[in-house]
Amino acid sequence: MVSQAVQVDNLHKRYGDVQALQGLSFEVRADEIFGLVGPNGAGKTTTLRTLATLLNKDDGDVTVAGHGVDGDPDAVRRSIRYLPEDAGAYETMSGRQFLEFVADFYAQGDEAAAMVDRGVEIAALDDRIDDDTQAYSKGMTRKLLLGSALMTDPTLAILDEPTSGLDVQNSKAVREVVKEFPNEERSILLSSHDMLEVEYLCDRVGLLNDGVIVTSGSPEELMAEYDAENLEDVFLEVVA
């Protein structure tokens, strides 16, 4: 077990003329949900993609589950699952086939079958799990993807806007699954624009603006520090 699921030090990333991340540092501890919040263009998705080994960093150190994203990206990928904000599933597969497809990359035989059963349970799509995913609503696809992300028991689940586009009922169901996920060997790093969701789910929050963490702490600590009634007010205060 690693006490820190994520350690980010002085992370820099530039896209052409735009400096997306400029010295970003934070950590995600084991058994916690860490929320990354900030305005549009603050660098949240860039950070999550870098941790998911989808983007190469320009400078800084990033360690996920004890593995450097540069030195051993395959080990990082084995330790994580990434749920992008705007993701889909393969339309020619049923929900169950999609889960089997993902499970094959992490386990074989009975272990893979158990993983798929776990994914089916998390997705909670009942009989529709055997329908082609092209017949799924956005909410159903999101729940399927969440099931595929958490069924592999990743050391770190990276969730970008996990309830994006979902109705109230589905959002609540997804939040409950996410809330129950962390334990001594599992953590979650999530990004969300929904401050109530972040306040409800996250043990600690990092407020990101212009590519750096401006402040971080538990929602209660941040509200006390900024003398705010809720996290939304903290966000507005910090961004202002």
Partner 1 sequence: MRPFTRLIWKEARELLRPRYILPILLLPLIFVGMGQGFSGVEAQLGQEPTVGVLNHDGGEYSQVVVETLESRSNLAHRSTSGSVETALNETSASGGNAVIEIPENFTDRIESGERGRVHLYTSVESVSIVGIASSAQVEELLSHSAHNVTVAVTGATEAELDPIERDHTTYVKGRQLAAPPGVVSAAFTSQFIFVPVIIMLAIVFSGQMVMNSMASETEHKTLETLLSMPVERRSIVGAKLVGGSVVGLIATALYTAGIAFSNLSIGSVGETSALTLGAGDYLLVGLSLFFTLVGTLAVALCLGLFADSQQGAQMLLLPLSGLAIVPMFATMFTDVDVLGPAAKGILLAIPFTHPIIAPKRLLFDDQALVLAGIGYEILFSLAAVWLAVKLFESDRPITGNAGWLQRFVRLVQR
Q: Does 121 bind partner 1 (CB under 8 A)?
A: no
The torsion defined by the Cα of 5, 77, 101 and 34, in degrees rounded to 10, comes to 30
Min dist CB 23 to partner 1, Å, is 19
Instruction: Assess contact for 196 and 163: CB atoms under 8 A.
Output: no
Min dist CB 150 to partner 1, Å, is 14
Strand-pair partners of 212: 209
Strand-pair partners of 80: 156
Which of 81, 128, 142, 143 forms a contact with partner 1 (CB under 8 A)?
A: 81
DSSP string covering 91-111, please? TTSBHHHHHHHHHTTT--HHH
Q: x-or-dash pattern for partner 1, window 41-60, by CB under 8 A?
A: --------x--xxxxx----
Q: Does 164 bind partner 1 (CB under 8 A)?
A: no
Q: Does 101 bind partner 1 (CB under 8 A)?
A: yes
The residue (of 38 and 84) whose beta carbon lies closer to partner 1 is 84
Strand-pair partners of 216: 206
Which of 15, 113, 135, 172 forms a contact with partner 1 (CB under 8 A)?
A: 15
Which of 26, 34, 82, 235 forms a contact with partner 1 (CB under 8 A)?
A: 82
Pairwise CA distance, residues 122 & 153, whole Å: 12
Pairwise CA distance, residues 89 & 36, whole Å: 25
Pairwise CA distance, residues 169 & 125, whole Å: 13
Q: Does 93 bind partner 1 (CB under 8 A)?
A: yes
The residue (of 29 and 49) whose beta carbon lies closer to partner 1 is 49
Q: Contact positions toward partner 1, by CB under 8 A?
A: 15-16, 49, 52-56, 74, 77-78, 80-84, 86-93, 101-102, 104-106, 145, 148
